[in-house]
Amino acid sequence: MSSETALPVLSRQAAEFLAHPRPMLIGGSWIPAATGETMEVFNPATEDVLCRVAAGDRDDVNRAVKEARNAFDGGVWESVGAEGRGRILWRIADLIESNIDELSELECLNNGMPFRDAKFFFIAQAARCFRYFAGCTDKIQGRSSQITAGRASYHAYTMLEPVGVAALIVPWNAPLMSAAWKLAPALAAGCTCVLKPSKETPLTALRLGELILEAGVPGGVVNIVPGSGETVGMALAEHHEVDKVSFTGSTETGRKILHAAAGNMKKLSLELGGKSPTIVFDDADLEQAIEGVAQAIFANSGQICIAGSRLYVQKKSYERVVAGVAARAEKLRLGDGMNPETEMGPLISAQQQTHVLDLVESGLSEGAELVTGGKRFGDRGYFVTPTVLGRTRSTMRAVREEIFGPVLCAAPFDEPEDAVRAANASRYGLAASVWTREISRGHTMARKLRAGVLGINSHGVFDYSLPNGGYKESGWGREHGQEGLLEYMEAKSVFARL
């Protein structure tokens, strides 16, 4: 592992964006927090302050929700029409792509991810998401049914209508893409929105707000309120004028939102924690599996909900696969994401760094083998070396709890049913993958594993045409596809007596 220090010069656009405190977007205008308070936004690779942004509180939430409610009830977004909404969403995608370098720099600086990962995956996927749902706006359809009740006949049909005001609460690990995953279907469905970016990574969401206005979204349809989860997030979850909450984050926070939303029985969709297993059989293409397993856990510094953080390898191949993943871990170049040599960036904060290292230490104290990594990297920034823990057991905290860092817990297994039992012995069920040359075995395992997204000889693949979400404590509802669009809609049945 190595870290380079020579960094490219920041673009003029990104430098100008960071040069002044960033306000919040409410009712189509950029305004300061009601209190006038701001909060610092940091670069996790250097621990330097990037800029300050408005620090929202309950008063700001009330203002934003009022604007969203007025825009919805007044038909501001509805009057644009389905085709018009589709054109605007497509325009947002175009603007993301035409500003992709600036957005990628801001994402890289604020989140720590390598610039090329931001540009060619995370930001590019945000544009793709808006394009996909742009094509859905004029394809929202009900159904009809010819029915009889006693002697009367009815023409009966269903209508799909937007749920209303949607509160969208997004995490820090993929800030712009996560915002797109919620904004695009909500806007396609006809909802108005209040977006709360993570307090750690609000920059690309605020820049997206500028592009949304430039694309022609009317004022009040999209509002953006940065701030802490304890204030802004909970105020949105509790608010009686909010009809829907879509949240991505930890299971513990998801429970708090569930209780807070009970007051007016809001619709909820929750994408929560994960502890996703990767299962490698002896007959797999082991080099392909090793590469896939390493990518599944070390991409984005392991800060991915679907990260393949538990590895189960059939006994004959266990040593080879674990050694192969460890060898790839040791070759990864850690450093500032703005450096083109960097392959893995920092964790998001000192708190997250401490959390990850504490869980590694707990695994070692409970008898796990340290194959590689397991320590802080460098003396500046929130880096943790990519880590492999071997010979782990299901009772260990490091195996049971979501680490959300570059830490892989590995264990051998004998028979397929042993792998299924171990993989399913988790309170989470977000993703899983199976590596085998036997296609029948792959499909059989896919049926038996309790997870929302399954990969056969792959991990973490998604497409906007297919639903994404989890079983058990990994959440409620789905994002993407028709299922994701329906999360922002209500179904109404109409009976007309003939």
- The strand pairing partners of 152, in sequence order, are 149
pLDDT per position as a tens digit, 429-450: 999 999 999 999 999 999 999 9
The yes-or-no verdict on residue 57 having pLDDT over 60 is yes
pLDDT per position as a tens digit, 277-309: 999 999 999 999 999 999 999 999 999 999 999
Does residue 109 lie within any of the structural domains? yes
Residue 364: which CATH number?
A: 3.40.309.10
Same domain for 212 and 330, yes or no, is no
The yes-or-no verdict on residue 322 having pLDDT over 70 is yes
pLDDT per position as a tens digit, 100-146: 999 999 999 999 999 999 999 999 999 999 999 999 999 999 999 88
State residue 7's pLDDT score: 60
Same domain for 451 and 417, yes or no, is yes
The Cα–Cα gap between 324 and 495 comes to 63
State residue 146's pLDDT score: 85
The Cα–Cα gap between 356 and 136 comes to 40
Instruction: Put residue 241 in one of left, alpha, beta given phi > 0 → left and psi -120 to 50 → alpha.
Output: alpha
Same domain for 267 and 281, yes or no, is no
The yes-or-no verdict on residue 4 having pLDDT over 60 is no
SS3 118: helix
State residue 8's pLDDT score: 67
pLDDT per position as a tens digit, 85-101: 999 999 999 999 999 99
Mean pLDDT of 324-343: 97
Same domain for 399 and 451, yes or no, is yes
CA 347 to chain CA mean position, Å: 16
Does residue 323 lie within any of the structural domains? yes
Does residue 5 lie within any of the structural domains? no
Instruction: Give the percent of the chain with pLDDT over 70.
Output: 98
Is 51 in the active site?
Answer: no
Same domain for 282 and 223, yes or no, is no
SS3 498: coil
State residue 216's pLDDT score: 98
Residue 222: which CATH number?
A: 3.40.605.10
Does residue 1 lie within any of the structural domains? no
Does residue 2 lie within any of the structural domains? no
Token pair, residue 349, equals 């904060």
* Burial letters 151-179, b for 16+ CB under 10 A, else e: eeeeebeeebebbbbbbbbbbbbbbbbbb
Burial class (CB in 10 A: 0-12, 13-18, 19+), 297: buried
Burial class (CB in 10 A: 0-12, 13-18, 19+), 16: exposed
- Where helices occur in 239-285 by DSSP H, the ranges are 251-260
3-state secondary structure 169-196: ECCCCCHHHHHHHHHHHHHHHCCEEEEE
Q: 67, 105, 271, 479: which is the annotated catalytic residue? A: 271
The Cα–Cα gap between 118 and 5 comes to 19
Q: 305, 402, 409, 479: which is the annotated catalytic residue? A: 305
Same domain for 287 and 268, yes or no, is no
Does residue 228 lie within any of the structural domains? yes
Number of neighbouring beta carbons within 10 Å of residue 384: 27
Cβ atoms of residues 196 and 230 within 8 Å: no
Cβ atoms of residues 44 and 197 within 8 Å: no
Does residue 154 lie within any of the structural domains? yes
Same domain for 257 and 282, yes or no, is no
Same domain for 107 and 170, yes or no, is yes
Is 210 in the active site?
Answer: no
State residue 149's pLDDT score: 77
- Domain of residue 249 covers 12-272+474-494
Give the number of C-alpha atoms closer than 13 A to the C-alpha of residue 490, restricted to the C-beta side. 13
- The strand pairing partners of 496, in sequence order, are 155
Same domain for 73 and 97, yes or no, is yes
Return the C-alpha torsion angle 281, 282, 283, 285, nearest 10: 80
Same domain for 260 and 345, yes or no, is no
- The strand pairing partners of 157, in sequence order, are 144, 494
Does residue 35 lie within any of the structural domains? yes
Assign 6 a pLDDT band (cuts: 50, 70, 90).
low
Same domain for 356 and 234, yes or no, is no
Based on the structure, what is the number of domains in the chain? 2
Same domain for 25 and 100, yes or no, is yes
